[in-house]
Amino acid sequence: MITSLHDTTTLNNGVTMPWLGIGVFKVDNGPELVNAVKFAIKHGYRSVDTAAIYENEEAVGQAIRESGVPREELFVTSKVWNSDLGYTSTITAFETSLKKLGLDYLDLYLIHWPVEGKYKEAWRALETLYQEGKVRAIGVSNFHIHHLEDLMKDANINPMVNQVEYHPRLTQKALQAFCGEHGIQLEAWSPLIQGQLLDSSILQEIADRYHKTIPQIIVRWDLQNGVVTIPKSTKEHRIVENANVFDFELTKEDMQRIDELNRDNRVGPDPDHIDF
Ligand code: NDP
């Protein structure tokens, strides 16, 4: 039972990762972001998800420094972008991210997308960074089962996390089962479908019964499914709302009704068909 924002899952290397964090995609590298991350930390969040391609690592770093919470109590994730996939280029990209964040280590570093022919060399770089102690855990993002199988064929270290699009319209059951079997923690991006499920009458009916909001129902559904999640908001009241999910539990029946909203629909690209 997950009971607070400080609760963690234990990754396959023993490192603990908060179940709930804040995402910062599409937020400019400026005061709005600094404030959002500071609000989040003030209200108990301990995990922040950024990426090199978001071009906002400096503001995330500034917020961390100004938060007053010791670095070791926070969990910071960043990701290597597609154009930097390669052994040396990934190491360099990691050092650039660290510098922008103003940190001397990351908690989690991910390969952002499974670019064919490139992700294995990048993975070797992540293994090196991990072995050198520069990052506490390494993982991937947007990997289908076949990408994971291919990666693990040659890997010395299996990924600890796979961060993928995951929400009630894309429940990823097969991928979740595969990750479970291989000790890979699944993490949900765009958990709120970037706002698109907020008018679902089924979710509204469930939310009303629990005296909760639709975002809270979705976040709770993620957690009860054993999926780490990182809803994004820059607004203090929503940052608080999205984390106010520890005082209720969805019944099995309601969990199933939410599962049944699955349509295998994506808001983002299919990792098998990326052209960036
Ligand atoms: P989300 O599903 O988290 O939705 C964010 C949107 O919902 C924003 O427009 C936000 O607006 C709005 N919102 C947030 N909370 C509420 C609320 N309580 N009520 C109403 N509206 C709300 O989308 P993201 O795409 O941002 O995904 C979350 C995070 O996942 C990203 O920020 C990023 O860190 C990560 N990600 C990773 C990807 C990858 O390839 N690995 C791809 C995409 C995302 P507002 O800010 O105005 O409140």
Average pLDDT over the chain, rounded to an integer: 97
User: Is 144 a residue whose pLDDT tops 80?
Assistant: yes
Judge whether 105 counts as a catalytic residue: no
User: Is 241 a residue whose pLDDT tops 90?
Assistant: yes
- The ligand 1 atom nearest the CA atom of 195: 7
Q: How far apart are CA 113 and CA 208, in angstroms?
A: 37
Please give the distance, rounded to the nearest whole angstrom, from the Cα atom of residue 64 to the centre of ligand 1.
20
DSSP structure string for 204-236 = HHHHHHHT--HHHHHHHHHHHTT-EE-----SH
Q: What confidence tens digit (pLDDT) does each residue in 4-15 have? A: 999 999 999 999
- The ligand 1 atom nearest the CA atom of 79: 41
Q: Which residues line ligand 1 (CB under 6 A)?
A: 23-25, 49, 112, 141-142, 163, 189-195, 198, 215, 230-235, 238, 241-242, 268
Query: Which residue's alpha carbon is at the smallest distance from atom 11 of ligand 1?
Result: 233
Query: Which residue's alpha carbon is at the smallest distance from atom 17 of ligand 1?
Result: 238
Q: What is the pLDDT of residue 108?
A: 99
Query: Which residue's alpha carbon is at the smallest distance from atom 27 of ligand 1?
Result: 190
Share of the chain above pLDDT 90, in %: 97
Tell me the whole-structure pTM to 2 decimals: 0.98
Q: How far apart are CA 225 and CA 234, in angstroms?
A: 26
Record the tokens describing residue 66, joined without a space.
């100004």
The CATH classification number of 8-195+227-235 equals 3.20.20.100
User: Is 122 a residue whose pLDDT tops 90?
Assistant: yes
User: Is 1 a residue whose pLDDT tops 90?
Assistant: no
Q: What is the pLDDT of residue 173?
A: 98
Q: What confidence tens digit (pLDDT) does each residue in 20-39 have? A: 999 999 999 999 999 999 99
Cα separation of the two ends of the chain: 40
Q: What is the dihedral of CA 221, 186, 27, 37, to 10 degrees?
A: 80
Q: What is the pLDDT of residue 190?
A: 98
Domains of the chain, residue spans:
8-195+227-235
